[in-house]
Amino acid sequence: MKVALLLYGQPRSIDNLKVYNSHKLHILDKYDTDVFCHTWYKPDTILPVSSWSKLNNVVCPNNSIDIIKEYYKPKVLYYEEPKYFYNSKISNSKEITVFNYANDSNISNIISQLYSIDNVSKLFIQYSNTTGTVYDFVIVARYDIIIHEFPNLTTLDRNFFYTMNHHPRFPDIFFIFNPFFIESQNTYNNLDTIVKKIIDHTIPKEDYWEFSAECLKFNNFLIYFHRSLIRGILIKEERN
């Protein structure tokens, strides 16, 4: 089975072998896996964290890129210096700032995540199209997640889009899907469209439960696909 593992976001915990070894055990060694990476990197930089995170002073390891190359051997790796994202429509919208955590710093972190996912998805699409490589499944994940239990991909129906099942909305720690669903990962490109719907109250209340990356990703999914295609599955993980 041919699998693409798309890693995005901050390279925190990249030097923790427990993370890599869990990815190796449950994905890299189990399937014919190609890895694609986008990350943020600047030596001696303290990485921004959201206010709801329990992390403090997360420092970007100076050898982050070397570790990614050595461990994951990505087909494509692209890294950028950390960016601060400001969106005036979001920051000035009462439909968004009604949530007390929707401050400029947290909003920047949300957009940063969406940007990274969008970029690694584009790297995957370009590589797949250029090389003609056909993949059975795409897995979208972060660099800091230790996997304890993961589904056997050979048992999954490729007609569905899989999330974790620990709550009923759109858990976004892992996504597993047929490449047919890859457009669901371009939330960053559609951010203005989704925000306009929020401001105009054209998103049903049950589909806008909070201003979060998860909620935005869900509404981006609905631009392209029907919600009935989403399936929750058991994945046990630990956020390092």
CATH number of the domain encompassing residue 77: 3.90.550
Please check whether residue 48 lies inside any domain of the structure.
yes
Q: What is the DSSP string of the chain?
A: -EEEEEEES--TTTT-HHHHHHHIIIIITTTEEEEEEEEE--TTPEEP--TT----SEE--TTHHHHHHHHH--SEEEEE-------HHHHT-HHHHTSTT--HHHHHHHHHHHHHHHHHHHHHHHHHHHHT---SEEEEEETTEEEEE---GGGS-TTSEEEE-SSSS---S-EEE-GGGGGGG-TTTTHHHHHHHHHTT-S-GGG-SSSSHHHHHHHHHHHHS-GGGEEEE--EEEE-
Q: Is residue 103 part of a domain?
A: no
Q: Which amino acid is at 24?
A: K
In single-letter form, the type of residue at position 225 comes to F
CA distance 185 to 115: 10
Write out pLDDT tens, residues 162-206. Answer: 999 988 899 999 999 999 999 999 999 999 999 999 999 999 999
Please check whether residue 69 lies inside any domain of the structure.
yes
Is residue 50 predicted with pLDDT exceeding 60? Answer: no
Which two three-digit tokens encode residue 183?
């457009």
Which tens digit of pLDDT belongs to each residue from 79-88? 999 898 998 9
Q: Is residue 100 part of a domain?
A: no
- Please indicate, yes or no, if residue 156 is contained in any of the structural domains: yes
Q: Which domain, by its residues, includes 39?
A: 2-84+109-182+229-239
Is 204 inside any structural domain?
no
What DSSP designation does 151 have? -
pLDDT band at 13 (very low <50, low <70, confident <90, very high): confident
Q: Is the pLDDT of residue 55 over 70?
A: no
In a domain, 133, yes or no: yes
pTM for this prediction: 0.94
Tokens at residue 7, please? 């890693």
DSSP classification of residue 26: I
Beta strand pairing call for 145-149 and 230-233? unpaired
What's the rounded Cα separation, in Å, for the pair 71 and 223? 36
The number of domains in the chain is 1
Query: Which three-class secondary structure state does DSSP give residue 66?
Result: helix
- pLDDT tens digits, residue range 100-147? 778 888 899 999 999 999 999 999 999 999 999 999 999 999 999 999
Per-residue model confidence (pLDDT) at position 2: 99
Is the model's pLDDT at 52 over the cut of 70? no
Looking at the DSSP assignment, which residues form a beta bridge with residue 35?
Answer: 5
In a domain, 191, yes or no: no
53: which 2 tokens? 């995170």
